Structure 1
Amino acid sequence: MLQGMHHGWRLAGLILMFGIWMMPGVVRADDDLDDMFSVADDFSEESQDDQPSEDEAAAEAGDAVDLDALGTREPRFRGTVNLEGGVLYGLDDWPGSSAAGDDGLADLHSGSAFYDMSTRFSLDVRPRSHIRFFGSAEIELDSDELDFKPYSIRELFLDYTLADTWFFRVGKQGMTWGQGRLLGNPGNLVSGIGDGIAVRSFVPLAGSGLTSVLFATGEDVQGSSPGPQDFTYAAQYDYSIGNYTLGGALRYRHADELRPLYAAAFARTSFGPLDLNLEGVAGIDPQDPHEQPNYWLLGNIFWEFGDPLWRLIAEYQYGESATARTAGHQSGLGVRAPRIAGWTPALQWKHSWSEQAGEVVAGIDRSLAPNLRGSVGVPVTYGPSSSYYRVESEVPGDRVAAVVLRLNISMDF
């Protein structure tokens, strides 16, 4: 164990020394870099803020919420601090490509360092069994100004359970629908809910439950007095029969002149360690039936097997859209292998068959010391420079390939 810790500290020291050498090329530790590691780790792009309330979870299990079982709770304060930094070195473009021109390999490589620091606080209060308040705020370092930004509210909502049956959540909140995991999530008909204010309700119905949502964002509202046309109305229902779950969702916003109505249908099942998801999504204009609809079809499987444990996810999507850059045939694969000498390897591949473009991310991650983690990632994008995966590249600094070394210190309290 001591030998492993010494090895971890040596790696940390090498990253720090290399970072000091590269400091003239500092860049931000942006969301792309975070996603590169987090998605490779858990194969999920779902919002981490979408945690069901105890009230809602209880209602899903039956026709009424047992408020006595929920009881009351003293104010609970929690926090987390996250500090990270690292270095990357890679190719700005592929030699011989039209974008590279006459530049050779020696002219196309560059390096930079990145850093970030953030802290998040939350307060959870249940003064009565039927009512609850939750709020969370985040303060993040602005690396351009070398100062901390004013705090941002991540969530701020009130839960209320009426007549032991109806559950309501009002305020700023996170929620995710849809079955997509690797290649985007077209079935997430409430994708903008975290950017605005929402009223969400849940009621047990026919052995399962109906969720309805009303929300609007600052971009949606026209003027100081928003009208009904500015709000998004959505509902989702699912029903389980044994090992199978069937469901559907609708979304409507009158102010969306092009295809204001979206509908989704999905099915989920499992066979031992294998989970299977299927979904279809369509966007239509009820006022113009001749308007060509947007639609997507997707399927994915998730499989945990072996001892030690392997995790694998595979996904396929096909879409026809006049606006989305992700139309056509797409496939994705993610693998997380068992630990090797303390390191956890992971590999992710996404490919667009219509554009013959995609990205590959390989990485390893491990704990180096208490509250300290290290990771090494190698993201690569390929295909025409105008393709989706090149334009929306996960490689920091809009490079086509890079080696990324990162250290992360985190603390919860």
Structure 2
Amino acid sequence: AGGLGNDWTPVRGLGAYIKGTNGKSQGVVPFLKVVNDTAVAVNQGGKRKGAVCAYLESWHIDIEEFLELRKNTGDDRRRTHDMNTANWIPDLFMKRVFQDGEWTLFSPNNVPDLHDLYGKAFEERFEHYEELTRKGEIKLYKRVKAADLWRKILSMLFETGHPWITFKDPCNLRSPQQHVGVVHSSNLCTEITLNTSKDEIAVCNLGSVNLAQHIGDNGLDLAKVEKTVKTAVRMLDNVIDINYYSVPQAKNSNFKHRPVGLGLMGFQDALYKQHLPYSSDEAVEFADRSMEAISYYAIKASSDLAAERGSYQSYEGSLWSRGILPIDSVEILVQERGADYIEVDRSQTLDWDSLREVVKTQGMRNSNVMAIAPTATIANITGVSQSIEPTYQNLYVKSNLSGEFTVVNPYLVKDLKARGLWDAVMVNDLKY
């Protein structure tokens, strides 16, 4: 009953030459239509709708049609109303937007290595292929203004909510597993970034800390966070061994790298408990501190598990083995992208130096440890706000296959009662 993220960039574009038949390709869109209809047919065992997200890199010649897949107008045979779409964007495209430059669209059969490259290597190769179009050695291509394509991306996002914007270079440059592969896309909800290849289908087991349960009289209860995270990481690591894998490539990938994703939910509830407005500087500070704590204890827990159970198979050569933790890998991105494009607060409050030494000596049980998932269903079941999202509305109705249920903001009710304002008039006003 998992969501799927599919990488479609290697499929040749509309009009590409098919050597075997001397014909021309129909491009990626007809295939996506099939995927869309499959997602409707295979509805996760009758429990919930099939959930798929298709990824396409921004230089693919079909990208403009891809942007329109969720539109409610146009030829319905070239629309996918039941599927999510995401744009896998290389940094070079964004730089061209900033510079008001041009951008070239290719069919992947003419530029087979671009999808596997990132950072400066991608930039060099991309410019080489652009040169080939000028020499007439690549016939099928299209030149557009980068800013025009970006404008179209944003207007489609505004109009249809798709395609989601995901960034290829940071996902790869900061990946602890860059020594054994390439991240070609994310997952259904765009929070997992794992390598994929013909032998590996990435799988990630997720869990989320209910942050609201870790707020004491003095704010975040660090001792409780540590205890919860330690238990959670052990449980997630156990799931890898006892899980059901529908295809061998998934099992192969999971047993080799053992990735898990520990995140959080109820962030808004945690703010309510501390009487902090979501948009305040204090809330940003709390976000930094709480996530730093979860990150610190999760990495420590995975390293302690490695001491007990052994490191994951592909640990040697990973960023972990070189003493580079997620908070350090921002620096790799700065070096590749340029400091002008990155403004991140990198202040630290915990003893990261000693943790780096622990990881270097003990190793890591899991290649990836953290992920902020949307927690759409589990947060509702637990009765807290979803993930790191602000309250959507103080009163609304949510529906799924089980039926409809009303969600009310309990903190608002509590505060109104404390002020003697909770009565029939207030209830009706809220409903209105």
TM-score (norm 2): 0.21
The structure with more strand, counted as a fraction of residues: 1
The structure with more helix, counted as a fraction of residues: 2
